[in-house]
Chains A and B, each alone.
Chain A
Amino acid sequence: MSDSSLENLPKGWKSVPSDLGSDQTAFKGVQWGKAMMWIFLLSDTFIFSCFLISYMKGRASTVVDWPNTSEVFSLDFMGVPVPLLLIAIMTFVLITSSGTMALAVKYGYEKNRKMCGRLILATAIGGLIFVGMQAFEWSKLIHEGVRPWSNPFGAGQFGSYFFMITGFHGTHVSIGVIFLFIFARKVYRGDFDTGRRGFFTTMKSDYVSIEILGLYWHFVDLVWVFIFAFFYLW
């Protein structure tokens, strides 16, 4: 599939039946790994949606008052309680790491090995800071007596939804951090310039992998946008 023949294909609405009804390649010009990552992310979207919808239903149907999140998640800063301080910092850290990841993808495609590697490393460190702050938040709430079955602030369901949703998201971040470190090493070693074959695959490495890794990382940030809005702010 050369570029010129890609331009001759139908565009817009007509591309949908033509692409899906075609032989061999469903999404013309999209690398298969990228399409597969997108489909994985779609399935992950359904999982997180189920969690958040379950949280919505649980919160809407309890007759006990829901804990006031701005008080529960407030942090003392120089003796003054600041609402949602830690959560706001976590949000900014995750957005920062999403930005460095987007730039890493760009520099990867430009075959700028050093910048790409540095930015992936910065992204991984951002993710580590995020997970660290989440661990701090968890231990703080556990010390305050929040349990999956009860808590001192209000409706008992609060704890189970909190640990389930943020725990599942934190797991995604942690897995992402591991892959970011692995890929930072691969970029520094020049795997994507020499086309060195990967550990799990006999296929040649290509900078498109950085974009696929980026898709996962941006998705983790995307999920946090929804958790931040629905769980912490609502």
Chain B
Amino acid sequence: MNENTEVNKNKEKPATTHKIGIYLWIWGLLFVLSFFSYMVDWYQFQGLLRWSLILFFMFLKAGLIMAFFMHLFWERYALVNILLWPMTAIACFVGLMVAEGKYTVFTRLIYFVLGE
């Protein structure tokens, strides 16, 4: 028939479902990773070790949620690109504000602390 009937037929069809195992695995992993990131605070790791561990567990958890719970892993590549490339703008903004924050604290130390 023509294309329109095919469109309607496809709408009624459920999208691809995935095995329950994959969800339970990701679920379990998220619990374990959250436990580990809590342990970072529990054992009071400090300095570079603390920050790198926090970031590592954070990005791993975020990646698992986005890829599997939000199905981005199976999503059309064009959509994935539209969603992930704007994140570089956020990364640039973070970089700018790190520099700005350092400058602000520098001027404050000079005028507030040394000034007194």
Contact = CB atoms under 8 A, between A and B. Distances in A.
Does B associate with A?
yes
Contact of A84 (B41, B97, B101, B112): B41
Given A45-B90, A56-B98, A229-B37, A16 B27 contact: no
Nearest to B108: A63
A61 B78 contact: no
B48 interface: no
Nearest to A5: B6
Question: Secondary structure at chain A's binding surface: helix, strand, loop or mixed?
Answer: helix
Given A49-B93, A56-B98, A30 B86 contact: no
B93 A53 contact: yes
A229 B75 CA distance: 27
Given A83-B41, A92-B34, A215 B93 contact: no
Question: Secondary structure at chain B's binding surface: helix, strand, loop or mixed?
Answer: helix
Interface residues of A, number: 64
B78 A15 contact: yes
Interface in A42-74: 42, 45-46, 49, 53-54, 56-57, 60-63, 70
A53 B55 CA distance: 15
Contact of B101 (A18, A20, A56): A56
Contacts of A42: 82-83, 86
B37 A228 contact: yes
A108 B57 CA distance: 31
B17 A19 contact: no
A95 B31 CA distance: 7
Contacts of B27: 95, 98-99, 102
Interface in B81-110: 81-83, 86-87, 90, 93-94, 97-98, 100-102, 104-105, 108-109
